């Protein structure tokens, strides 16, 4: 995976991409599932896993 530059500003992204970026930033373990219809993002589902050691 490519590194994201430190000057990356999620506020500059379109809303649907910002939602995906925010989900990835806050998730330690889990799944981000994107639902696409006719080439357009329709839904973002986030499933978080909690790990205990």
Q: Read off the pLDDT of residues 6-28 as tens digits, 9 standing for 90 and up.
A: 666 767 778 988 999 999 999 99
**pLDDT score of 53 more than 70:** yes
In a domain, 5, yes or no: no
- If one counts the domains in the chain, the total is 1
In a domain, 1, yes or no: no
In a domain, 38, yes or no: yes
pTM for the model stands at: 0.67
DSSP 8: -
Residue 35's alpha-carbon distances to 19, 22, 25, in angstroms, are 13, 17, 19
Contact criterion met (CB below 8 Å) for 46 and 23: yes
Residue 28: domain span: 10-48
**pLDDT score of 51 more than 80:** yes
In a domain, 33, yes or no: yes
**pLDDT score of 3 more than 80:** no
Give residue-wise pLDDT tens across range 27-37. 999 999 999 99
């Amino acid at each position: 995976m490519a590194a994201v530059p430190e000057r990356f500003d999620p506020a500059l992204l379109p809303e649907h991409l910002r939602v995906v970026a925010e989900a990835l930033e806050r998730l330690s373990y889990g799944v981000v599932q994107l639902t696409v219809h006719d080439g357009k993002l329709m839904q973002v589902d986030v499933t978080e896993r909690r790990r205990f050691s």
